[in-house]
Amino acid sequence: MPAIVLATLNARYAHAALGLRCLRANLGALRADSVIREFTIARPAEEVVAAILDQQPRLVGFGVYIWNVAQTTAVIARLKAHAPGVTVVVGGPEVSHEVAGQPICALADFVVTGWGDVTFATLARQILQGPRPLMKVHAGEQAPLATLQLPYDEYADVDLRQRNVYVEASRGCPFKCEFCLSALDKTAWPFPLDDFLAALGRLWGRGARRFKFVDRTFNLKVATGRAILGFFLERLEAAPDDPPFLHFELVPDHLPDGLKELIVRFPPGTLQFEIGIQTWNPQVQALISRRQDHAAAEANLRWLRANSHAHLHVDLIAGLPGEDLASFGAGFDRLCALRPHEIQLGILKRLRGAPIARHTQTHGLDFDPEPPYAVRATAALPAADVARLARCARYWDLVANSGRFARTLPALLGDAPFARFLRLADWLDAELGRAHGIALEELHALLLRWLVADGMAASEARRLLEADYAASGAHGRLPFAASGIAPGRPAAVVSTPPRQRRRASAPVP
């Protein structure tokens, strides 16, 4: 039985914890006496504890994040009650700041803050071999990346077949956006490129095809970006019937020609870019220490939409200090005009340690004390407006981001996207009282009612909704459909995520 269990609760099974694999790869001689155990946040605490104790560990290390801290606290409380002799170490972003006030840190025997690659290994040796440390909190040592063992051989074959493979060509971020923990970094540090590409080659050879890069600034250094894109293009062109799916986070106002000439060579369904606009308001941008050339960002988004097959997932944040409903709505409309495939409407969260907290008094920021610590009101955005935007975000995800209503969406948005969709979200909430557990057929029926009440001919509204339903691949029945049934599921590229498959079958707006 292993002496060390490295554990975390992922948001869903498709996510595989890169952090745990970094820890295990750098355990040195203790690596052979360790095992990784991953669960999801939906798993009952008693089942998680039972699975961990089945390994009979002496030490359990938990990766703690904003999305799992509540569930992990419950797991640790139960684990300590059942096996008080097992040493518990917690680490990760959620416990790297404000340690003293956190219940999970009080329950744990030790806390590692910041980078854990080297520090956890040292702490584990001291716990298992002695002398046992006297200090509870251990600040992570930021070792040079070239000295660390890369974690990619820690992915099991089943991970490569069934899950996203998370990789990082660099750590850190040179930007200072105050809502993000990366604002605390001084710069971005690259891993040795040749070693990283060799590790990617081993993953590819073992069958990995879904890669999510966690780099904050993938396109910051053009030469590195070109080398990585070139790596995948070489394999794609050698075997076009076995394509990858690649997710990158891009700086929106930096897309030089050296990257563009490679991006255009990727076929549909292979590239996804997550692009953080966050706000178009220059005063708000300056307030939160965010640097962004809006004209360049707009030009790059237009170019990507017109010239590449990349799926564009663009982020906006509601509730930033100084931004009111009208400003946020204007930014939403500006982004809609650029036609990204998805717009992620996020509500500002107070990540522990993020500098955004400095605006709490001056801008009236009221955050929920429970995770994920979403803002409840600001001086510029009253609580009622925050609640409306949160509901709007949930319905936007169901209707727009799902890709199930690509033909109907333009009719819903018209020439005033934000105002019209906010009204629709208010109406849906009044009709349903919920934004979860809504059957697709029920949502189609509601949208038909809305469109007809808004002045569209019933026959045209039915035509759009029936076409979207058929393209979605659903197998149920639409009560208002002329045929009463949905056609069969359309053909799709297997490696392409479902939302992209649905969008691929839609006409270009």
Quick: pLDDT tens for 227-238.
Answer: 999 999 999 999
The reply to whether 306 and 386 lie within a common domain is no
- The answer to whether residue 150 sits within a structural domain is no
Provide the number of structural domains found in the chain.
3
Listed residues 113, 144, 175: the one ending a domain: 144
Say how far apart CA 446 and CA 440 lie, in whole Å.
Answer: 10
Residues 168 and 300 in one domain: yes
Q: Residue 217 has what pLDDT?
A: 85
Q: Which of the 8 DSSP states describes residue 394?
A: H
Q: How many CA atoms lie within 13 A of 150 on its CB side?
A: 22
pTM: 0.92
H or E stretch at 87: strand 87-91
> Considering the chain, what is the average pLDDT of its residues?
94
Segments of 118-201 assigned E as strands: 137-139, 165-167, 170-172, 188-190
Residue 16 corresponds to which amino acid? A
Expressed as residue numbers, the domain containing 122 is 4-144
- 230, 131: one domain: no
Residues 138 and 159 in one domain: no
Same domain, 427 and 362: no
In what helix (H) or strand (E) does residue 315 lie, and over which residues does it extend?
strand 311-318
Residue-wise pLDDT for 130-144, tens only, equals: 999 999 999 999 999
Chosen domain end from 381, 404, 433: 381
What token pair was written down for 452? 């007809």
Q: Is residue 195 part of a domain?
A: yes
Main-chain dihedrals φ then ψ at residue 15, nearest 5 degrees:
-85, 135
Domain assignment present for residue 478? The answer is: yes
Confidence of residue 25 (pLDDT cuts 50, 70, 90): very high
Residues 75 and 210 in one domain: no
Domain membership flag for residue 149: no
Same domain, 429 and 314: no
pLDDT at position 503 = 61
| Residue 248 counted as domain residue | yes
CATH code of the domain covering residue 237: 3.80.30.20
**Final residue of a domain: which of 334, 354, 381?**
381
Q: Summarize pLDDT for 415-424 with one digit per residue, the tens.
A: 999 999 999 9
The CATH number of the domain holding residue 139 is 3.40.50.280
Q: Is residue 94 in a domain?
A: yes
Element (H, E) at 252: none
Examine the domain organization and report whether 178 and 68 are in the same domain.
no
Q: For residues 75 and 28, state if they share a domain.
A: yes
pLDDT tens digits along 445-501: 999 999 999 999 999 999 999 999 999 988 888 988 765 444 433 333 335 566 666
Are 287 and 324 in a shared domain? yes
Does 400 lie in the same domain as 370?
no
Query: Within this chain, do residues 421 and 339 fall inside the same structural domain, yes or no?
Result: no
In the chain, the amino acid numbered 161 is R
